[in-house]
Each structure stands twice: as structure tokens, then as C-alpha cells.
Structure 1
Amino acid sequence: MRPRFHLYLLSLVWSTGPVLAASPELPLDVAIASALEHNVGLRIASYEPADALDTVEIEDAQFDPSFFASTALQEGESVPVAGASSESDGRSARIGIDQRWSTGATVTLDSALDRSGGSSTVLNPDYGADVGISLSQPLLKGAGTTVNLAPLARAKVNAERSLFELRSDVLDLVLETEIAYWNLAYARADRALTVSSLALAENLREENSERERLGLVTPLEVLQAEAEVLNQQEAIIQADNNIEDAEDALRRAMGQTDFVQAVSDTIVVRALPEQMQPLRSIDEVVQDTVLNDIDAQVQERRIEVERINRMLAQDEVQPDLDLRGGLSYLGRDDSGSRAYSGVYSADGYAWSVGLELRVPWGLREARARERQAERGVEQATLQLYDIKQAKALAARNAWRSASSGLKRIEVTRAAMRLNQEAFEQERARYGSGLVAYRSVLEAQRDYDRAKSNYLGSLIETLRAIVRLSRIDGTLLQRNGLDWDAVAPYTELTTPRAELNTSRESNTP
């Protein structure tokens, strides 16, 4: 689709001076491609999924190892006692790595080297080295892969939800662009209708002027004909304004025009189709609407998020009970290297194991948040039901609107033909002197009104059909598109593949 669009741009330069030749016709699919590629609103909306995918990476990074290091230097002199004092100095360095696991455990592997010296030490200098490993594992709150991977699972669900929201924005843009395209086609058709009415009015005015010269009509009938010409000229002024408004709306959707600069191009579009495809049955339309509705799919992800929030809130009600343990090997000598040799020889060791319990009094905050999370799940579930019910109702209304529009087209088309025959008969009778010009004028206005009604039925039915295709999920298919074809226009700065991380998760 993009190559065709760029070829079109080569033949139609936007906003660059007066048009020297007739502008080529803008196909609807090219207008939609331009909107998908350049519309500012869609570009803004595409940042949300990119941010959501980065949030997945942020949550996954909580399980990355963390390196740490520290060093310190200290010196001191004791208060003199019996005229004697002692001096001391110390240096220490520590390095290690922390790793958090999906079970909630935190494992630390570290090593330290301490040097102390002074008159009061047995060894001067005195080096102490140790290498050890320690573990902290929650047993109640925060224990298990389900709880600890829940924020990552929630971020993934939110990323999926943001992608569905972007799809909804894409469909809204396609809908807006197609309606803007046909609105412009209607505005041009309406002007053409007015031009034909003006030509007819001018013809009648000239005919009346000649008949007045021959003494067959009164000056009043000439004035009536001239007034009708002015009315049609006024209608053309309004029609020209409507065309410019419709062109600007289409330019805005296509995202190709800088309205700050002068805009002098003309957009030529297809004529309004006079034949519409028959509708599917209302039951089939409603069923497809409920099954394929993107807003419902977005809401389903919100329910998943609320369920994860509820699970995390339930975990917060439990007390903190942590198992802590560690093992270190020690070495000591008057040299740092020999102190580490003692570590490797296991000259000394130290181990510890224990439990730590912490219980907030009454757990009032945690229980209140648990109740809020439970209500959040119930509310989101009811909202999903309401969305599906509203979409089913919208599908029924849109189907009836399109169905009645198709019937209205046939009625207004027949009325237009009858009014045309009536006008031609009145004009013939006027030419024979059987009726006054007022009868011809009224017949002409009835005929103009019938043509306008027919044109209005075409655009209103077309709008209804387009909106129906947006509701029942066939809008892309209607315009020869699918999500694979749309994907290049909605590329994110972060690849979709990042939704599937390498970490094994136990999705709640």
C-alpha cells in the first residue's frame, strides 16, 4: 500500500502553489494509508503501548543480579590513661552480588577484607578475610513464584491491553478517514446539484425575459426567475464553503498538511456510490459484534489486572515470616593474601539460621485494601457485561439505521423521478400558457428538494454502513485491509516480542 501512496504523492504535491492541471483522483485506500502513516493522533497513541512494553522490562529487571562494593578508612587514638595512650587505624573493603529469585528469596554472595593496626593489636597489621553466602526466604507474605511474578504478569497484561487500545484507535481513524472521504464526495455532489439548479434557473430567466419581450408574461414572472437565480447563487457559495470544510477534515485525518502554511490544492475523490451492498442479517451482525469487539477485549485484560491486584492484596494480609541463614568462611593473618589463604583452607567458619516474624497490629490497612481489590474485580466484571450489552444494542441500532437507509434510497430515487416528470410537465404547460410561472417555480423547487433528499439518503446510508462495519469488526475487511497490513503503520519503538520474556512465570 505504501508504494502506491508515494506514487500518488509524486503526482499530487500538497500545499505547494496553484494547481496548474486537473488533480488526479484520490483513491480511498490511499487516503486511509496516508492517515495510518501520518496522522498525528495515531502517532501519539502509539506511545502508550511502547511505554507499557517498557514496563514489562522494568518488572522483569527486578530479578536481575545486583553488584555492590564498599570501602572505608578509619583512624583513632584512645584517651590517655596513666599517661599512656594507644593509636589504631582500620581499613575495610567489601564486594558482592545480590540475586532475587521468583520464589521471593534473596541470595547474597559477598567477600570482605578488613585491616586493623595499632599498638593494642596482637597482629600488627591484623588482616581478617571472609567469603560467605546468605539467604532470606519469605515463608508467608511474599512467598512463592505466583506472588513474586504477579507484577510481571500484570505488566504483560497491561501491555496487551494497550495494544488492543491502539487497535481501537486505528479503527476509529479508519472510520474517521472514510467518513471524511465520503463527506467530501457528498459536498462535491451537492455543489454539482446546485450548479444544475442554477443552470436551469438561468435558462428559465432567459426564457421569461424573451417571453416578456414578446408580451407573453408580466415583469413579475421575470423578477421571480431572477430571484430564483440569486437563491441558487447563494446556495453555491455555501456549497463551496462546505467543500473546503470537508477537504480540511480529510486533510486533517490524512495528516499530510501543515495548516499553518497556505493550502491551495484541490482534493478530487470518487463519486458517491448509488448502489450499496446488501446487509447481513441482524443476528449475524450482533453475534460478530459481541465476539470481536475490541473494547470488550480491552476490558477483559482490565479484569485480569484486577484479579492480579486482588491476589497481591490477599498476600498482604499475611504476616511477615522470613527464614534467614548464612555461612561464611574466615581467615586471619598479618597479610591480606595469607588471610584469604586461610579462608580457602577453612581456618574458620561461622553459620547462622533463624526466623523473623513481623505482624502489623490488626492488619487494618491490608484488609481494607483486600476489600477494595475484591470490589475492583466485581466492578470490572460488571463493566464488561455492560460493554457487551451496549455494543449489542449499538449494533442493532446501526443495522436498523443502515437498513432503513437502503430503503430510503429507493424511495427518494423514485420520488426524484416523479418530481422530474412533474417539473417537465409543468414547464411544458407553462410554455403552452396553461399555467402561471409560479407553478413552474414550485415544481422546480420540489424537484430540487427531491434531488437533495436522494443525495442526502445516499450519504446518510453510506455513513450508517461505515459505522456499522466499525461496530461489527468488518471495517478493515471493507477497505481491503487486515491487521498484518496495518501493522507497519503502527510500529512501536519496542518490539512486541518483548511480551514473551525468557523467565518462566506462573501467571496468576
Structure 2
Amino acid sequence: MMRRSILMFSASVWAVGCTSQLDRDWKHIDELDGRLGTVEPFDGIAATSASTTLSDSTATEQDGVAKVEKLLDLMSTGEPRGIGISEVRRSTIENNLAIQSSLVSPEVAAQQLLAERAKFESTFEASVSESRTVNPTFYGNAGEPPDTETNVFTATPGLAVPLRSGGAVTLDWTVSTDAFRTAGTPTSDAAQSSPGISLQQPLLQGAGFEYNEASIVLAATQLGEASAQTQVAVINQVVQAEIAYWQLHLAWEVLRIDLDLYRTSRELLENQRRLVEARAGSIANVYNFEVAMAASVEAVIRSETNLRQAVRGLKVIMQDPTVSLDGSVALEPTSKPRLVGYTFDQQVLVRSAMRNRGEILQLEYEQLGQTVQVMMRENEMLPQLNLNAAWNANGIGNGSSIRSANQALFGRDDPDGWSIGVTASVPLGNEAAIANYQAAVLQRLQSIANRRQQE
């Protein structure tokens, strides 16, 4: 029993030790991807303990616009068109160019991630060539020297296999035929079949699974960062659309109030004039009410201008192609505000914001990418030490038959050819690599500070 426990403990320690930093980074990315795009309502996170519906007062009178147009020629906001808050949200999401532009960034990052994942794909290579050369041959006898004709055909198919350890394996098989013809001498033909394999593997700088797969992790963090930016952009545009909608609602209500005040001022002025005509009032009161009516006219003009600006602001955010930006159409809100009071649980709200806010997720992706950058720059400070190895076999056939060369290849007694060696490159000083490493460390510290500041 004790022996089994020791074996289980040793296996657990070995499994933990074999978990690489890159594997932990991938798990972190998966966790962030699960949190990305989550917008939880208050009820979903239990952030409210009680809610009460407040009193809602609705304006019912909407008939003063046409009358004031005849009196003051102010109301030129266009033909009213009713619009609800749901239509504003839908139109903003479908037509807003800022949202459409932000949606492209994750697609670009996703394609870049696919490109990084494909860097370990094998490549088929092939080359075929045929040549003929004619050279004079000197035998030392008098007379015109004969020509030597050489015909060479070579075909080399191959397969290049990049390794996740940083190296590359190349498999190739070269077949060739040579024909030598000289006047007055027998023709000499030969065929050769030569398969081979070569390996190039870095041992220090650029070696290891973590370094060579780090670019894939970086592309994944860039995809997450772009997705978080898109989430923030979409939410901000929708929020701006709702703010513009309720500002338009406020502009309409203020205009209606100012119109009512104008009508009231006009009625009071007319009453005072009738009292003066009946010698029951003072002319000073008439002057006072004329000043009040002038102020109400100014308020109507100011409210009408604010309404124009609110209508245009909502149109700009919606960017609905069916709604022109000129003054021919005046958007009029049909959705009424629903005033609800909430009692918030601050701790739950803070935890939800730290878990799901797009800005914080973006900074977490950035910090993770900077961590991978530090690992890569640290590896690049090592000297270059590369292993080069190759093996090949040769089969030579009689005549120009490639088939006989292949048969000779498998039935031969000749030893195989091989080579092995290392190449080294050590920079004197290594200042560039050290500076890049220090810069990566500082950028990671900066990303940590930015995240903590945002939190």
C-alpha cells in the first residue's frame, strides 16, 4: 500500500513538472475566451436585491406644433416619423460603420491565427531538368578534334517537413541519367538513383516546442484582444445610440413644454390687452407680458434647435440608409421611459465587471501576449548552435535505365553515405538580444500596471 502511494505521488509530481508554460498559457486563453462576449444582466448576476417601479408621467398633448408653425414659422424639423428604442438598436448594429469596421478586426486576427497554425505544414518539392552540352575533345593527334556530346536528365522529388522543435527534415530521391557520345568512341550511358534524408535542428537559440509554438499563442492572444476591442466598440455604439434616443425624447418633451409656455404667455397677453381696452387693467402689465412672451418665443426657438441637433445626432449613430440626414424627416420617439429603482450589491457588480468587462479582458490578453514575448526574447539571447545531419544511398544501373538503377540500389553491397556536424554562432557582446529582452520585460510590467489601473 505504501509503495502504491509513493508511485502515485511520483506520477503526480512528474505530470505537474511536465506541464509547460505554453500549456498553461493555452488554458488561460481558453478561460478568457469563455469569458469573452458575456454581458450579464443585473438579474443574472444577482446584483439587485429589490426593485420598485417609479411613477411614470406621460405627455398627452401633441397638437401645438402646426399652430406655432403658422405663428412663428419655427417648426421646420420635417415630417415626424415614429421610432422605437428596439428599432434604434437594430439599425445601429446593422448599419453603423464603426461597428462594421470593428467586426473586421477579429476576422483578420482569426486568419492570422490560421496562418500561424499552418507554419508546420509539410511542403512537397520537385525539380526536373534536362541539359545537353557539346565540348571539343583533344587527343593530341593532328587534325580537327572530335566533339563530345553530354546529355543529362535529372529529377528530384522531395518533401520538406518542419518540426515543432524548430528544425526541419528533408526527404528527397534524385534520379538521373547521363549519356556521353564522342565520334569514334563507344557511347557511355549511366543511370543513378539516390534517396536521401537531411536534418537541420537548432540546439540552443530557436530550439524547443515552446519557442516555436509561441507565435501561435501570440496570434491567439491577438485574436482575443481584437474580439475584446470589438465587444467594447459594439457596446459603446449601442450605448451611444440609446443615449441619443433618450436625448431626442428629452428634446421633444422640452419643446412641448416651451410651446405650452408660449401659448400660455400669448393667452395672458391677450387677456391683459382686453382688460386695457375695457379700462380695467394697466398698460404696464401688457408690457410685462410682451416681454414674457418674447422670452417664451426665444425658448421655443432654442428648443427647436436642440431638437434638430438631437434628430441629426440619432440619425448619424443609426446610419440607416432609409432615413436621410436632411430635415425632411423628424424622428419622434414612441418608446416611453420606464423608471425603475434598483438596490445594487456593489461587490457582486464589481466582481462581474472584473470578470466580463471587455477593457479588462483586452488587457489580460495583452499581458498574456507580453509574457510569451518575454519567453521568446529570453531564448533569443542564447548562442546559435545547429545540428546538421544527412544520409544518402546510391544505386547505379547499367545503361540509361532508371529501373536498373533502382534495382541496384536495393541489391547493392556498397555502404551508405552520411554526414553529421554542428555550426555555432556566438555574438560578441549580445547587446541587441539583451536590449530586446529588457524591452519585453518592461512592456510586460507596463501591461500589468495598465491592468491594475483599470481594475
TM range (shorter): 0.7 to 0.9
- Output aligned runs, 1:128-139, within 5 Å: 128-139=192-203
Q: Tell me if the contact between 2:156 and 2:173 (Cα under 8 Å) persists in the aligned partners.
A: yes
1:115 aligns with 2:177: yes
Q: Which amino acid is 1:35 matched to?
A: T
Q: Tell me if the contact between 1:320 and 1:359 (Cα under 8 Å) persists in the aligned partners.
A: yes
Q: Which amino acid is 1:180 matched to?
A: A
Q: Which amino acid is 1:106 matched to?
A: A
Structure 1 residue 223, shift from structure 2 partner: 2.7
Residue equivalent to 2:426 = 359
**CA distance in structure 2 between the partners assigned to 1:271 and 1:27 by the alignment:** 5
Question: What are the Cα deviations for residues 372-395 of structure 1, in whole angstroms up to 9, with x where unaligned?
Answer: 11111111111111222xxxxxxx
**CA distance in structure 1 between the partners assigned to 2:290 and 2:327 by the alignment:** 35
Residue equivalent to 1:336 = 402
**CA distance in structure 2 between the partners assigned to 1:122 and 1:298 by the alignment:** 78
**CA distance in structure 1 between the partners assigned to 2:316 and 2:240 by the alignment:** 10
Q: Which amino acid is 2:169 matched to?
A: V
Q: Which amino acid is 2:166 matched to?
A: G
Residue equivalent to 1:48 = 105
**CA distance in structure 1 between the partners assigned to 2:122 and 2:324 by the alignment:** 52
- Output aligned runs, 1:459-478, within 5 Å: none
- Output aligned runs, 1:56-455, within 5 Å: 56-78=113-135, 80-81=137-138, 82=140, 84=145, 86-119=148-181, 124-257=188-321, 262=326, 264-270=328-334, 273=337, 275-280=339-344, 282=346, 284-333=348-397, 334=399, 335-346=401-412, 348=414, 349-388=416-455
Cα 1:283–1:122 shift into 2, 3 Å: farther
Q: Which amino acid is 2:203 matched to?
A: L
Question: What are the Cα deviations for residues 287-307 of structure 1, in whole angstroms up to 9, with x where unaligned?
Answer: 543443321111111111111
Cα 1:203–1:122 shift into 2, 3 Å: farther
Cα 1:128–1:250 shift into 2, 3 Å: same
Residue equivalent to 2:25 = none
Structure 1 residue 169, shift from structure 2 partner: 0.7
Cα 1:187–1:374 shift into 2, 3 Å: same
Q: Which amino acid is 1:141 matched to?
A: Q
TM-score, normalisation: structure 2: 0.75
Residue equivalent to 1:30 = 87
Q: Which amino acid is 1:313 matched to?
A: R
Q: Which amino acid is 1:194 matched to?
A: D
Q: Which amino acid is 1:38 matched to?
A: N
Q: Which amino acid is 2:86 matched to?
A: D
**CA distance in structure 1 between the partners assigned to 2:327 and 2:264 by the alignment:** 33
**CA distance in structure 2 between the partners assigned to 1:257 and 1:192 by the alignment:** 29
**CA distance in structure 1 between the partners assigned to 2:100 and 2:321 by the alignment:** 15
Gaps of 5+ in 1: 1-17, 389-508
Q: Tell me if the contact between 1:326 and 1:353 (Cα under 8 Å) persists in the aligned partners.
A: yes
Structure 1 residue 258, shift from structure 2 partner: 6.6
**CA distance in structure 1 between the partners assigned to 2:339 and 2:235 by the alignment:** 24
Question: Relative to structure 2, which stretch is displaced further, 342-351 or 60-69?
Answer: 342-351
Q: Tell me if the contact between 2:323 and 2:329 (Cα under 8 Å) persists in the aligned partners.
A: no
Q: Tell me if the contact between 1:189 and 1:271 (Cα under 8 Å) persists in the aligned partners.
A: no
Aligned Cα RMSD in Å?
Answer: 2.5
Structure 1 residue 161, shift from structure 2 partner: 1.2
Cα 1:202–1:338 shift into 2, 3 Å: same
Gaps of 5+ in 2: 1-77
Cα 1:219–1:73 shift into 2, 3 Å: same
Residue equivalent to 2:70 = none
Instruction: Count residues with an aligned counterpart.
Output: 368
Cα 1:299–1:137 shift into 2, 3 Å: same
Secondary structure of the equivalent of 1:102?
coil
Q: Tell me if the contact between 1:211 and 1:217 (Cα under 8 Å) persists in the aligned partners.
A: yes
Residue equivalent to 1:391 = none
Secondary structure of the equivalent of 1:130?
strand
Q: Tell me if the contact between 1:251 and 1:257 (Cα under 8 Å) persists in the aligned partners.
A: no
Structure 1 residue 229, shift from structure 2 partner: 2.0
Residue equivalent to 1:6 = none
**CA distance in structure 1 between the partners assigned to 2:345 and 2:442 by the alignment:** 39
Question: What are the Cα deviations for residues 258-279 of structure 1, in whole angstroms up to 9, with x where unaligned?
Answer: 7777552332214764844235
**CA distance in structure 2 between the partners assigned to 1:321 and 1:343 by the alignment:** 35
Q: Which amino acid is 2:450 matched to?
A: Q
Question: Relative to structure 2, which stretch is displaced further, 145-154 or 225-234?
Answer: 225-234
**Structure with greater proportional helix content:** 1
Q: Tell me if the contact between 1:92 and 1:114 (Cα under 8 Å) persists in the aligned partners.
A: yes
